[in-house]
Structure 1
Amino acid sequence: MARKRALVVRGGWEGHRPVEATELFIPFLRDNGYEVRVEESTAVYGDAAEMERTDLVVQCVTMSEITAGQLAGLGAAVVAGTGFTGWHGGIADSFRASSDYLHLVGGQFATHPGKEPCLRHGAAEDNFLPHTVQFTELGRTHPITAGLADFELETEQYWVLHDDLIDVLATTTHPVRPYEPWHRPVTSPAIWTRRWGAGRVVVTTPGHSLDVLQHPSVRTVVERGMLWATRTASAS
């Protein structure tokens, strides 16, 4: 049987530690029989032959820009069956200027609410809030998340704008706070999948820092998500 081919694409804003973060998961891929190629830019998406033989793309590229040709190559590959996955800003806050990318992924980071203004000191921790990741009914039985219990984090809590073509496996709720402008609790998807053509997309929004990615539940979701998103025989 031919080995599965995984393409790890990393770059963008260095605050999300794209090299160190992806290096956490490359051994898992190799241990599960993947041949892994690592690229430091999205230029590879424009290589039609390479994308055609790729079974899984793991992307960690926060913000940044992508050309129309590169995005078209990524989109065509997913439609043809290539899996696409990532975590936090590396997939949910990529290529903000591209509506077509948003259409592919199905959800986009809008903000991460912060602490009470008087408690902020100009550091990343200003946006670290305790919150719960709660699994949906679907999430309690889905192969990516089955058997996992709701869990607590103190890190960035993503507020996500999304459509209803995503299948939500877990959510997180932003409560009403006296110093914020919203007037009722807002629930955002925290983990979701999306079918796009013959391809599978998996987005895990926790993952701001290496310690969050090493949280047992977060790491399990990311790793299972990579396996689940990978091209299936029926998509070959």
Structure 2
Amino acid sequence: MIRLLYVLMILFTLQSCSKSEDNSLQISTLSDIDGNQYNAVKIGSQIWMQQNLNVSHYRNGDPIPNVQDPVQWYNLTTGAWCYYENQTSNGTVYGKLYNWHAINDPRGFTPEGWHIPTKNEVDILRSFLDNGENAGYKMKSTTNDWLSPSTGSDNSSGFTGLPAGYRSNDGGFYSSKGSVAIFWGENPDSQTSQDKYNYTLLSNFTNLYNSSSIKEMGYSVRCVKNY
């Protein structure tokens, strides 16, 4: 009887450990003002969305304009979004691309309790994921969205970065879907600069890069949960 109880205790312990390992990424859910559903994952001390933002309204209900015309996009001084190549099917997978004016609008468009990450928060993420050397490898999705040449990925962080490409200010053309993921962020140290902060994943590199570009570019958005 004692031996049987001992065996049962071992089996219970192994099952508990296995369950803990299966749930190690601690997935949760959230929604935006449009009712779009997102998964979120705990990475270190932070909680990040696992999908790109796909909302089309500010938090007060005002619409964010969908601007397809390239000349109009170039001349904007207010917030706007678009789908890559203006194709709804791209939005289903990759979410929307936003200009920086949408990021900076005081009405806000992130889900309640979530915000655009700061450079410092991205640096914390990078440091937790191997100080940038292999952070990108751990953040990129393992699907075939990433085109060759590619360094591959294991998505061990759960971030699930997808190569949504971007929209240029120059002619409003679309580029690099399958090769690059660029996300808007905020950098309080450069608020007076024309160049605005973003962070980037590339198909053929394992790093997570800091960068900057002008307000009229169209990039993806990931949100991080308020502390």
**Common topology (TM > 0.5):** no
TM-score normalised per structure 2: 0.24
Q: Which has more strand, going by share of residues? A: 1
